[in-house]
Amino acid sequence: MTESSPRPLLSVYTFYKFLSLDPSNIHFMVEKIESLGLENTLEGLIIFGPEGINATISGSKQGLNKFMQEIQNLLVMTTIDIKESQSDFAPFKRFKIKVRDEIVSLG
């Protein structure tokens, strides 16, 4: 029996940001961010709403950092608090973006 080489760890970023988003502009942002996510081979879920963005996404650290830089520029965010963890398996099957009435359910 041969040993397989260890899988590279995937980074997982979780973040949310309350900010005022123009409802008429959300669909443009969704298309742009979906394209950026696919370009950077990301998987996970991003939720957009009129009050901001909520996301848990995974991929290579390089891909996630490039994506985050682009999303901060697109949404004109000066700071965003990202929680980072590692995974030795793919925690998501695909990259998906949803538009909802609220980004965090409060009950």
User: pLDDT tens, position by position, for the chain (107 residues)?
Assistant: 455 656 678 999 999 999 888 878 888 889 999 999 999 999 999 998 888 899 999 999 999 999 999 999 988 888 889 999 999 999 999 999 999 887 877 76
Quote the pLDDT of residue 9.
87
pTM recorded for the entire structure: 0.86
Q: Which residue has the tokens 């409802």?
A: 23
Q: At how many degrees (to 10) do helices 26-39 and 61-74 cross? A: 160
C-alpha distances (whole Å) from 15 to each of 2, 3, 24 are 40, 37, 23
Quote the pLDDT of residue 45.
97
Quote the pLDDT of residue 49.
86
Residue 46 CB coordination number (10 Å): 22
Quote the pLDDT of residue 24.
83
Rg (CA), the chain: 15
